[in-house]
Amino acid sequence: MSIKNNLLQIKSQLPNHVTLVAVSKTKPVTDLMEAYNAGQLIFGENKIQEMTDKWQEMPKDIQWYMIGHVQSNKVKFMAEYVSLIHGVDSLKLLEEINKQAKKHDRIIDCLLQIHIAEEETKFGLDEKELDEILEILKQVQYKNIKIVGLMGMATFTDNQNQIKKEFQNLKTIFDKVSHLKTENCQLNTLSMGMSGDYKLAIECGSTMVRIGSSIFGGRN
């Protein structure tokens, strides 16, 4: 199957309220252009340098989502163009995004990453840290960021019950905080689910899925 056919098949199965992020990391621009020409405008990358190179080369109506772990000192390299930063897991990082966005007179959308997996290697906030950040956002006006939702990654396992439990846990947290509305915080997006588990994630309430290998094939 071609990239175009893969993409159209997945899109035909997604509910209208679910946003598809085509995870294009390590893939050449020719592959991304095939997806773009089939109507895909949202691409997810996990390395800022690679994303920036592709942004410079490709059409400017594409939205670039940073889906990898972000180091504060790298934010400046994408602040000019990035549409959504997925893995915000500290106040320090939020402040840096705000600072760099201001230099470009932009407001950058962010998702707060919640740690739901049993693996220690995954990044993310616990519930207490999430509450603390949301409390600070009520008091401090960061004018150049907007928190638009939460994201999380399930444990890398074949145990569907465990994955489901983790997704449901994130949905519960999301439901608890999604009523919070301030100028720079409106939680409408719940990003969870990848190629292997996105259908389960949607069942559990996901509104954004990150799909790479099912569109572009396995990674090189």
Q: How confident is the model at residue 112 (pLDDT cuts 50, 70, 90)?
A: very high
What was the pLDDT predicted at 219?
Answer: 65
Domain 3-216 grouped into CATH 3.30.70.260: no
Measured torsion, CA atoms of residues 38, 63, 155, 218, in degrees rounded to the nearest 10: 40
Closest CA to 77 of 110, 59, 54: 54
CA distances from 95 to 91, 140, 145 (A): 6, 11, 9
Domains of the chain, by residue range, sit at 3-216
Question: Tell me: the pLDDT tens digits for 163-183?
Answer: 999 999 999 999 999 998 888
88 has which bridge partners?
112
What was the pLDDT predicted at 180?
Answer: 87
What is the pTM assigned to this prediction?
0.95
Question: Tell me: the pLDDT tens digits for 61-94?
Answer: 999 999 999 999 999 999 999 999 999 999 999 9
Closest CA to 116 of 164, 175, 179: 164
Question: Tell me: the pLDDT tens digits for 181-204?
Answer: 888 999 999 999 999 999 999 999
Distance CA 152, CA 118 (A): 12
Structure tokens given for 6: 């893969």
